[in-house]
Amino acid sequence: MKVAVVGATGLVGTKMLQILAERNFPLTELIPVASERSVGKEIMYKGKAYKVHSMQAAIDAKPQIALFSAGGNTSLEWAPKFAEIGTTVIDNSSAWRMDPDKKLIVPEINAHELKATDKIIANPNCSTIQMVVALNPLHKKYKIKRVVVSTYQSVTGTGVKAVNQLMNERAGITGDMAYKYKIDLNVIPQIDVFTENGYTKEEMKMVHETKKIMSDDSIRLTATTVRIPVMGGHSESVNIEFENEFEIKDIFEIMKHTKSIILKDDVSQQIYPMPMDAHDKDEVFVGRIRRDETQPKTLNMWIVSDNLRKGAATNAVQIAEYLVEHKLL
């Protein structure tokens, strides 16, 4: 089992390596891949040093799986080349997510759709993944009509440059800016570029990806995505309107018994999910569950998850685990 990790020196790539090790993924050979300037450098995996390969060297090694986290342009150019030699690519960029011929997978929801012929598999956007993990069991029982979501997203979603900007600002150091504006002691209501309709690409990703993952184009969703100066994970305030009536106690029971969800909801003790709870964990944390009292069949909830783990690296590794378990390689 040869596994290539493309973008191995980046934030998500580093996290992929960490999670492969933590979960004892059954690889026999690791092939770290990065940009030309990093080729020949060493990265550590399970206490052993591995040299960073070029793209072509990785293809020549013929891995069974390639985990990609190197940006959309890189994926568009190189993922098909890996796929041509029989490698199954699990891609973390937005390049293939809305391609009608590619599967967009959150294992808890739609891994059963995967086939051995799927050679490029898309990993959804981080903010979408954590939301649909919580929404899917509710959709099955009550059928979702409409979702209004506002996100509060960690700077780690932007990358190392953004983390450095935040840390520099806190230390009073002038340095490279990942954002146009200061991030510390501030909130930036823009993630990705604006589109013609006034929404950002990140907001529209949540709209389109949710429908594709949950196989239901009738779900209406509107999003506002916001960058905040934290590093533990993404938080989301979600308002959900259902077709069918529900009891709050049943929502609690569903969340309590859904795989990959940890329910943290006891307002009498001020218990609710926060990014510091989710940091370096794979689960999706849910709390602040309450009825929307302004209209019928509508629910409010708060969802938190580590965007580098379940929102990116862990989800990709879980897809790989499913492929191995079900002999789809």
* Residues classed as catalytic: 126, 234
From the list 175, 124, 306, the residue with the least C-alpha distance to 231 is 306
- Distance separating alpha carbons of residues 279 and 26, to the nearest angstrom: 25
Q: CA–CA separation, 186 vs 12, rounded Å?
A: 25
CA–CA separation, 125 and 302 (whole Å): 18
In the chain, where does DSSP find H-type helix?
A: 11-22, 55-60, 72-84, 107-110, 126-142, 160-171, 201-213, 248-256, 275-278, 314-325
Write out the DSSP string of 190-241: --S-B-TTS-BHHHHHHHHHHHHHTT-TT-EEEEEEEE-S-SS-EEEEEEEE
Rg of the chain over CA atoms, in angstroms? 20
